[in-house]
């Protein structure tokens, strides 16, 4: 951020009185511009024991498989966001249930919330952000081609719980992966 | 938002190609400025059966009682944010446990996440955003003076669960309160 979105003048990075962190503050109108973590919301849609996955048509991680998920929008609930993403990415009608995983992605300033879900109709299709969609038995899940660590975490906890006949909520913190 | 925070030129509200919602887009450099819901994170700190509440020194709802809670910052986890807010508002050292409530505040573009917590030391104090802090027995909680509906929701579910000897996670959607 270099300019004030309210008045168009330059901002500088300083700590407001009474605050404890530097913020972008407008040098002219004084507006303080806060930046906060964003929510990514998705779900694990299940149909007759199979899991819905989407092959990404967009970066990052184009060509890798993921659960339907994306940025939560203003005016919707977490559950509405998760259902909308399933519809957009896989033309999938789902019933959102309890959350399985909440992942703090510290370096990306994101919180990922993944719900359990029932796929209500097996007629799914390829949305504009997907190259391919499919229903996978546990043994068919392409683990090395899963797009994101948060998705792998949620999917593994989901399958563990299903095997054990329980439904827990799992938290996880992610920091940058080791390089090389 | 009237001006681009990247280049300082005017933005206009239009739907980017392939998107489904209008966004503020810079007329000159083309930057798309997304706005997403923010996370407010807090906890219910308990010490020997009593609940920590803070009387707000700042607007909105100055003079009303609340649980320690506030905006999550970049670089922290939900749990770190909840613990930090307890320290800032009540000089309270807490151990964050499982979440009790997640409230979608649709009109405010916020998601409120409230955790169960143990207050580790009863020596609490008045932080800069509080007029007063205190430990309340269930029968002493000033219900008509609770600042926010999400806080009342979390607190009531917490106390219900404690009475019933269970620990569940409760979701709730809030829309604007009826006027008058």
Q: What pLDDT was estimated at residue A180?
A: 56
**CB of A10 less than 8 A from some CB of B:** yes
Give the percent of chain B with pLDDT over 90: 94
Across the interface, do B77 and A1 touch by the CB < 8 Å criterion?
A: no
* Chain B residues within an 8 Å CB radius of A8: 2-3, 8-10
User: Which domains can be identified in chain A, with CATH numbers?
Assistant: 1-35 (2.20.70.10), 38-174 (3.90.79.10)
Band the pLDDT of B179: cuts 50, 70, 90: confident
Band the pLDDT of B113: cuts 50, 70, 90: very high
Q: Which residue has the tokens 């239009």?
A: B14
ipTM of this complex = 0.95
Q: For residue A77, give the chain B residue with the closest CA.
A: B104
* Chain A residues within an 8 Å CB radius of B7: 2-3
Counting DSSP H helices and E strands in chain B, the numbers are: 2, 11
Report the pLDDT averaged over residues B156-176: 97
For the cut 70, the answer to whether the pLDDT of residue B180 exceeds it is no
Q: Are B84 and B152 in contact (CB under 8 A)?
A: no
Q: For residue A97, give the chain B residue with the closest CA.
A: B171
* Structure confidence by residue, pLDDT tens digits, B6-44: 999 999 999 998 888 999 999 999 999 999 999 999 999
Compute the distance between CA of residue B70 and CA of residue B55 in angstroms, rounded to an integer.
14
Cα–Cα nearest to B42, from B149, B146, B117, B124: B117
Question: Looking at CA atoms only, how far is residue B7 from chain A in angstroms?
Answer: 7
pTM of this structure? 0.96
DSSP state of A113: E
Distances (CA, A) of B11 to A1, A3, A8, A107, B33: 14, 12, 10, 29, 9
* Structure confidence by residue, pLDDT tens digits, B135-155: 999 999 999 999 999 999 999
Locate all alpha helices (DSSP H) within A91-148, ordered by sequence: none
* Contacts with B, A 126-145, CB within 8 Å: 128
Q: Are B52 and B124 in contact (CB under 8 A)?
A: yes
């Amino acid at each position: 951020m270099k300019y004030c979105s309210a008045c168009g003048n330059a901002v500088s990075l300083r700590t407001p009185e009474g605050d404890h962190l530097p913020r972008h503050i407008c040098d002219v109108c004084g507006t303080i511009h806060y930046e906060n973590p964003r929510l990514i919301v998705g779900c694990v849609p299940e149909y007759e024991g199979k899991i819905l996955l989407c092959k990404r048509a967009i970066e990052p991680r184009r060509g890798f498989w993921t659960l339907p998920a994306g940025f939560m929008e203003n005016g919707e609930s977490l559950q509405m966001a998760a259902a909308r993403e399933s519809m957009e990415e896989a033309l999938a009608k789902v019933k959102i249930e309890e959350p399985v995983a909440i992942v703090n992605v510290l370096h990306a300033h994101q919180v990922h919330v993944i719900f359990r879900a029932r796929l209500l109709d097996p007629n799914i299709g390829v949305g504009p952000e997907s190259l391919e969609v499919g229903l996978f038995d546990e043994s068919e899940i392409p683990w090395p081609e899963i797009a994101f660590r948060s998705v792998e975490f949620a999917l593994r906890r989901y399958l563990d719980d299903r095997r054990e006949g329980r439904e827990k909520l799992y938290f996880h913190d992610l920091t940058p992966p080791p390089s090389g």
